[in-house]
């Protein structure tokens, strides 16, 4: 699907857009109705550089083989598209865009991290399932990027020649010039491929020194292999329970907190300076599908969770003031008996009234398009129906 950008002016209470920002090389359907044909891996990632220009990267699920050899991955399971970089023609203006051809074709799960000094890091998986996770750095507001640096290594498993070590990862800004990485392992089998993922991991990148370390400060050799990850960066071995990549934030003491969906739960993890505290399942009353959190103090955390049950779906707050040992349910921001919700991670540098994106649809809808909402501490931001697309 093609990328579109909308904007909300909190001071004026006014929406603009959405405007089309580019054309997806993965193609699009005018009214998608077949789940088997839907591939949204080319979804956009957006960042604003220090001069106010807006950058969007989108349009690739590993990259089409026609674009040449992938030196850091493969085309396993039918990759497609081309990683595409567009930039707004004017600072702060979402109405017109131009293509900047300065990135490899082979990207999936594009993620921006912007340092306090404005340097941009673009993280992504360099191809299909069996590919390294890499980053590229820009010190000139996205005009140019350094060559990809491999962070997580794909390779044939040392335990089974029919399995490749693969990963799913999430990168975010830590304290100062540090970037955090929260990730899970994917035993990518061929034949008999499955979507299984397990284990939770954490490591950190001091961009001022170029050093990746474990939570205990031990230097890591790049790219990190499965063996090294298990020895130095493992938080929890989750075994046969399917585990998906979560989010991570750092408190005022410099200690990481993380949340990963594990089975039917979202588990909260906290490093106390000496060890990872035992994981705690947050939320109750149904299947806890996803969430993200805000650290108010080292022992005080608020988490936004999406929970589904037989009676419906809701997005609401849960909080702890004892370091995650116990959690209390707070305000429900949005609920529906028949509309399901999918959450983004928290938007970086967000206004309190616009913390994250939410996608919603009814199971009975003929098509697969979602209503898109911006949700903040007081619930969804309203927009007149006559303006909404």
Q: Give the per-residue pLDDT at 290.
A: 87
Question: Cα–Cα distance between 143 and 100 in angstroms, integer?
Answer: 8
Give the CB-side neighbour count of residue 261, counting CA atoms within 13 A. Answer: 21
Alpha-carbon distance values, 122 to 21, 271, 323 (Å) = 19, 26, 32
Give the HSE-up count for residue 303: Cα atoms under 13 Å, Cβ half-sphere. 36
Q: Which of the residues 41, 61, 126, 313 is marked catalytic?
A: 41
Across all residues in the chain, what is the average pLDDT? 93
Give yes or no for a contact between 133 and 121, defined as CB atoms under 8 angstroms apart: no
Q: Which residues contact 179 (CB under 8 A, 6 or more apart)?
A: 113, 121, 171, 172, 173, 204, 205, 207
* Domain range summary for the chain, segments of one domain joined by +: 4-286, 287-389
pLDDT confidence tier of residue 5, bands split at 50, 70 and 90: very high
**Could you tell me the sign of the dihedral formed by the alpha carbons of 96, 100, 106, 108, in that order?**
negative
Overall average pLDDT of the 53-73 stretch: 91
What tokens does 128 get?
């299909």
Is 109 part of the annotated catalytic residue set? yes
- Write the pLDDT tens digit of every residue in 320-359: 999 999 999 999 999 999 999 999 999 999 999 999 999 9
Task: Name the pLDDT band for 29 (thresholds 50, 70, 90).
Answer: low
Q: How far apart are CA 126 and CA 23, in angstroms?
A: 21
According to CATH, the topology of domain 4-286 is Neuraminidase (2.120.10)
pLDDT above 70 (res 35) = no
pLDDT at site 286: 80
Residue 93 clears pLDDT 80, i.e. is over it? yes
Specify the pTM: 0.95
Q: Which residue, chain included where needed, has tokens 């990259």? A: 63
User: What are the tokens at 158?
Assistant: 């040392």
As a three-state string, the secondary structure of the chain is CCCEEEEEECCCCEEEEEEECCCCCCCCCCCCCCHHHCCCCCCCEEEECCCCCEEEEEEEEECCHHHCCCCCCCCCCCCEEEEEEEEECCCCCCCCEEECCCCCCCCEEEEEEECCCCCEEEEEECCCCCCCEEEEEECCCCCCCCCCEEEECCEECCCCCCEEEEEEEEEEECCCCEEEEEEEEEEEECCCCCCCCEEEEEEEEECCCCEEECCCCCECCCCECHHHHHHHCEEECCCCCCECCCEEEECCCCCEEEEEEECCEEEEEEECCCCECCCEEECCCCEEEEEEEEEEECCEEEEEEEEEECCEEEEEEEEECCCCCCCEEEEEEEEECCEEEEECCCCCCCCCCCCEEEEEEECCCCCCCCEEEEEECCEECCCCCCCCC
**Rounded average pLDDT over 282-289:** 84
Of residues 35 and 19, the one with the higher pLDDT is 19
> What is the spatial distance between Cα 56 and Cα 2, in angstroms, rounded to a whole number?
12
pLDDT at 114: 98
Identify the burial level of 281 via C-beta atoms within 10 angstroms of its C-beta, where 0-12 means exposed, 13-18 middle and 19 or more buried. Answer: middle
Interval 294-312: pLDDT, tens: 999 999 999 999 999 989 9
Nearest to 110 by CA among 156, 145, 68: 145
Per the listing, tokens 């994106």 go with 357
pLDDT tier at 28, thresholds 50, 70, 90: low
What is the C-alpha to C-alpha distance for residues 171 and 190, in angstroms, rounded to an integer?
28
The two tokens of residue 250 are: 């750092």
What pLDDT shows up at residue 41?
A: 81
- Residue 62: is its pLDDT beyond 90? no
Count of beta carbons in the 10 Å neighbourhood of residue 318: 22
C-alpha 131, offset from chain centre: 17
Assess whether 129 carries a catalytic annotation.
no
* pLDDT of 26 higher than 90: no
Contact 81, 59 (CB under 8 A): yes
Q: What is the pLDDT of residue 285?
A: 76
Q: What is the mean pLDDT of residues 145-154?
A: 98
Of the residues 109, 121, 183, 185, only one is catalytic, namely 109
What's the confidence (pLDDT) of residue 25? 86
Is residue 326 within 8 Å of 316, Cβ to Cβ? no
Using only the alpha carbons of the chain, give its radius of gyration. 20
């Amino acid at each position: 699907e093609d990328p579109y950008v909308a904007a909300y002016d909190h001071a004026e209470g006014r929406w603009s857009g959405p405007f089309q920002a580019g054309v997806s090389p993965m193609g699009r359907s005018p009214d998608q109705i077949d789940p088997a044909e839907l591939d949204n891996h080319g979804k956009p990632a957006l960042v604003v550089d220090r001069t106010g220009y807006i950058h969007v990267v989108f349009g690739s699920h590993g990259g089409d083989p026609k674009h040449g050899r992938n030196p850091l991955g493969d085309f396993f399971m039918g990759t497609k598209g081309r990683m595409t970089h567009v930039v707004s023609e004017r600072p702060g203006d979402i109405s017109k865009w131009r293509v900047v051809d300065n990135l490899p074709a082979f990207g999936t799960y594009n993620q921006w991290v912007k340092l306090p000094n404005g340097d941009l890091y673009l993280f992504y998986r360099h191809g299909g399932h069996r590919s390294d996770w890499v980053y590229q750095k820009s010190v000139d507001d996205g005009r140019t990027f350094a060559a990809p640096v491999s962070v997580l290594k794909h390779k044939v498993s040392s335990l089974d020649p029919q399995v490749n070590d693969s990963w799913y990862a999430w990168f975010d800004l830590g304290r100062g010039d540090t970037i955090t990485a929260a990730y899970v392992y994917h035993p990518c089998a061929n034949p008999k491929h499955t979507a299984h993922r397990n284990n939770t991991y954490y490591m950190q990148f001091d961009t001022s020194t170029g050093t990746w370390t474990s939570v205990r400060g031990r230097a890591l050799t790049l790219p990190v292999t499965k063996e090294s990850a298990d020895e130095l960066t493992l938080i929890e071995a989750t075994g046969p329970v399917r585990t998906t990549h979560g989010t991570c934030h750092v408190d005022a003491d410099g200690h990481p907190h993380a949340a990963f969906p594990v089975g039917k739960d979202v588990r909260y993890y906290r490093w106390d300076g000496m060890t990872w505290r035992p994981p705690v399942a947050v939320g109750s009353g149904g299947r806890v599908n996803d969430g993200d959190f805000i650290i108010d103090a080292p022992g005080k955390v608020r988490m936004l969770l999406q929970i589904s049950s037989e009676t419906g779906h809701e997005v609401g707050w849960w909080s702890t003031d004892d370091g995650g040992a116990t959690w209390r349910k707070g305000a429900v921001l949005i609920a529906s008996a028949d509309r399901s919700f999918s959450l983004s991670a928290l938007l970086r540098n967000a206004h309190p009234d616009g913390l994250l994106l939410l996608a919603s649809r009814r199971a009975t809808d003929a098509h697969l398009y979602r209503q898109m909402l911006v949700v903040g501490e007081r619930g969804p931001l309203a927009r007149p129906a006559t303006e909404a697309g």
